[in-house]
Amino acid sequence: MAGDDWLPWIALETIHLGAEAEVISGTWIGRNAVLKRRIPRGYRHPALERNLSRQRIFAEARILVRLCENKVKSPILFGIDPEEGWIMMSRIEGPTLAQVLQKDSDYHMEHKLGQAIRRVHSTGISHGDVTTLNAIWSDDDVIMIDYGLGRLVAEMEHFGLDLHSLHECLSAHHVDRPESMKRVLEGYLDDSASDNFDARAVVDRFEAIRGRVRYHA
């Protein structure tokens, strides 16, 4: 069973236990790996739960494959079992950006975060849960993880919502870094990417979403 020790997977420790999934670190054929196992929700009909679990696992797997094909730094897909409800991928080594931002006063990491989000968006993928906990600081760069709520065929609104999700995270958890979102957007708009992606349109949509939220608050 996924999560227990079985060759070639060796489970080491649970690194996250949420409402929707348990995330376990371990090794797979000697490689550092992460296994995400979905937790059934008791209030859902079993058939609905199975279908939802399968859909999300397949979606995350396809997202990881597309990111790899487009040479966007991300976890590498090792395997899935939609029936058992798990997905296995490589582990990205390094602290979360949430941890690093507590110690570093330089804003270059936020610039890197903006660039990382743009790289993901330029492949047509929205992340769905952009926070500093889902961003790893590795080799002087930012790598996004946890695409469980991502969309493979995203629309402009989804890209804007990704930026808004991050804005909410920074406002709530990194209040001592008032320039953070500004630096993120500078990185997102960095033209050095040369990817023909309309980043300005996404930022405009983000600003429109912020306006709607303020209006309804």
Q: How far is CA 7 from the centre of its chain?
A: 28
A 10 A CB-CB count for 93 gives 10
The continuous run of DSSP H or E covering 15 comes out as strand 9-17
List the catalytic residue out of 104, 129, 176, 190. Answer: 129
Is 42 strand, coil or helix?
A: coil
* Cβ–Cβ under 8 Å, residues 25 and 13: yes
Residue with tokens 């040369």: 194
DSSP strand pairing (31-38 vs 77-81): unpaired
DSSP strand pairing (9-17 vs 21-28): antiparallel
Q: Which residues pair with 151 in a beta bridge?
A: 126
Q: How far is CA 35 from the centre of its chain?
A: 15
* Cβ–Cβ under 8 Å, residues 148 and 109: no
Is 104 part of the annotated catalytic residue set?
Answer: no
> Which residues have CB under 8 Å from 199's CB, separation 6+?
118, 121, 188, 189, 193
CA distances from 183 to 7, 72, 115 (A): 45, 21, 10
Q: Which residues are catalytic?
A: 129
